[in-house]
Structure formats: structure tokens, C-alpha cells
Amino acid sequence: MKAPPEPHLLRPESYPFRLPIETQFSDMDLYGHVNNLAVGRFYESARARFQMQVFDHRNFFTRDATYSMMLVEVTMRYLAECNFPDPVEVGVGVSRIGNSSYVMQQALFQKGACVGLCEAVMVLTTRGKPTHIPADTRERMTPMLLRR
């Protein structure tokens, strides 16, 4: 269907931010694998923790936040089965910074293997409208660029 993923995407060290996550019993589907929705939650959790570390909590994550990082598009690729009860690790790196949007590249690792990839397009908004990413936010993202 699609070209195989670029090799650097499969390596944990390409991702400046990494979050370990325990799999949970309820993550298992009918086949005993971690289900796709749980995988989606792992990526979301890692995006949230990434943003909490990189951006200012008060401006981004409270109900009265000035900014909101809106997910506008997400692509998830399933490379191998992910299983309970082993933990997973999600890697996150910024692969592109635009005017009001940026792209997060993510990977899911279990027992040393890359079992999934995710690309998320985020848009910075204020009151529901896209807004220019401020210089300081841009700067905070620089150390988080995906490594090749």
C-alpha cells in the first residue's frame, strides 16, 4: 500500500521526548492484543505530556487558557502487534513548524521494537481560530525537533 517507513522513524533515539506507559488489562481486545483505541490513547497521552513539558501549562492546559493546541489531523500506522502486560514507550519529536501549525512525529515501542507510528498535525488556536505560533513557543520547540 505504502512505502516502508523511513529507518530513522523506527529508532527510539530519533525522538527527543519519550514517555513510558504501562499497558492496562482493559486495553486488550478480543484477540488479546492492545486494541487500536488504546494505541490512540497512548499517542494522545504522549502528546499531552509533551505539550505540558514544552509549553506553558497555564496558557495551554487550563479551562481559561489563552491558547489551545487543536489536533486537526492524525495518521496512525500499525506495524506490529502490541501486547498486554508489557509496558510501551512513546517517542515524540517535532518534524515541522509552520505559521500556526506544527507536526508531531510519534512512535510506539514495545520490547525494543517499533510497533507503530503516528503523525499528528496540531494547530495553535485562540478562541477557536488559528493563530501565529509566538516566538517563545517556537523556541521551546526547537530542542524537540525529530533527529535524523
Residues that bind a copy of itself (CB under 8 A): 1-2, 21-22, 24-26, 28-32, 35-37, 40-41, 44-45, 47-49, 52, 63, 68, 70-78, 85, 98, 101, 121, 123
Find the shortest distance in angstroms from Cβ 60 to a copy of itself.
Answer: 12
User: Alpha helix locations (H) across 18-126?
Assistant: 36-54, 57-61
| Of 115, 90, 114, nearest in space to 104 by CA | 90
| Of 29, 20, 23, 38, nearest in space to 85 by CA | 23
Comparison of 27 and 144: residue with beta carbon closer to a copy of itself: 27
* Helix or strand holding residue 139 (H, E): helix 135-141
Find the shortest distance in angstroms from Cβ 35 to a copy of itself.
Answer: 6
Find the shortest distance in angstroms from Cβ 92 to a copy of itself.
Answer: 13
Comparison of 10 and 74: residue with beta carbon closer to a copy of itself: 74
Please tell me whether residue 26 adopts helix, strand or coil conformation. Answer: helix
Find the shortest distance in angstroms from Cβ 106 to a copy of itself.
Answer: 14
Q: Calculate the alpha carbon distances from 71 to 3, 27, 38, 81, 130 in Å.
A: 25, 23, 17, 25, 12
Comparison of 73 and 136: residue with beta carbon closer to a copy of itself: 73
CA 13, 18, 23: angle at the middle one, nearest 5?
120
Comparison of 23 and 137: residue with beta carbon closer to a copy of itself: 23
